[in-house]
């Protein structure tokens, strides 16, 4: 798939994340939270200690259902 087509296809996921209640990381003096980075076929979501991972899973599941995309959950990692 071309890069531009992939960007168009993945943008709804970014919109869903930005519209969610997931807090991400707040940095002093930064107007917006750090929530998601997307580059090529890599997506990285930043969760705060207060965020519930199940909220992220629900968003990903809905996106995959609507788009027929599949996430490689074996590469998924969490850090304490």
* H or E element at residue 58: helix 53-67
Determine the distance from the C-alpha atom of residue 16 to the mean position of all C-alpha atoms in its chain, rounded to a whole number: 8
C-alpha span between 33 and 17 (Å, rounded): 12
Mean pLDDT of the chain: 87
C-alpha span between 23 and 37 (Å, rounded): 14
Q: Is the pTM of this model over 0.85?
A: no
Is residue 21 over pLDDT 60? yes
Q: Is 5 left (phi over 0), alpha (psi -120 to 50) or beta?
A: alpha
pLDDT tens-place string over residues 26-62: 999 999 999 999 887 788 899 999 999 999 999 999 9
Is residue 80 over pLDDT 60? no
């Amino acid at each position: 798939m071309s890069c531009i087509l992939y960007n168009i296809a993945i943008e709804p996921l970014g919109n869903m994340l930005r519209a969610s209640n997931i807090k991400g990381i707040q940095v002093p003096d930064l107007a917006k939270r750090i929530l998601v980075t997307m580059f090529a076929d890599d997506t990285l979501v930043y969760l705060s200690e207060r965020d519930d991972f199940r909220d992220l899973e629900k968003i990903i599941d809905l996106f995959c259902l609507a788009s027929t995309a599949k996430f490689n959950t074996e590469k998924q990692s969490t850090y304490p």
